[in-house]
Amino acid sequence: DIQMTQSPSTLSASVGDRVTITCWASQSISRWLAWYQQKPGKAPKLLIYEASSLESGVPSRFSGSGSGTEFTLTISSLQPDDFATYYCQQYNSYPGTFGQGTKVEIK
């Protein structure tokens, strides 16, 4: 199975900060990577697919980049609603695997 590693595990930031989360794949996954946001007690919500395509309805302050084995999710100006846990997922090959998550906390 392809292993997905996220960094950092926890991130403390303030409203208005630029935030970057990194995700590495244990082997090349081309651009077959998605990012999700999850809030406590809720299902994950798709933010980004194919590494950089913004899901409909997701604010433009979210962006994704990368290819191969290294990917980033950037929030250009953190808003109160963005405090949550973020997961990357590779879907290049079966089984789809998720990163361990990055919790974005209020500083």
Partner 1 sequence: QVQLVQSGAEVKKPGASVKVSCKASGYTFTDYAIHWVRQAPGQSLEWMGWINAANGNTKYSQKFQGRVTITRDTSATTAYMELSSLRSEDTAVFYCARGWDVSTYHRLWGQGTLVTVSS
What distance, in Å, lies between the first and last C-alpha atoms of the chain? Answer: 35
Q: Which of residues 23-62 bind partner 1 (CB under 8 A)?
A: 32, 34, 36, 42-46, 49, 55
Query: What DSSP letter does each residue of 49-60 carry, written as one string?
Result: ETTTEEPTTS-T
Total residues in contact with partner 1, by rule CB under 8 A: 23
Q: Does 71 bind partner 1 (CB under 8 A)?
A: no
Q: Which two tokens stand for residue 27?
A: 């082997």
Question: Which is closer to partner 1, CB of 49 or CB of 62?
Answer: 49
Question: Which is closer to partner 1, CB of 16 or CB of 57?
Answer: 57
CA distance readout (Å), 94 to 32, 47, 77 = 12, 21, 35
Question: Which is closer to partner 1, CB of 2 or CB of 78?
Answer: 2
> Quick one: which of 32, 3, 11 has its CA closest to 74?
11
Give contact residues for partner 1 (rule: CB under 8 A). 32, 34, 36, 42-46, 49, 55, 87, 89, 91-101
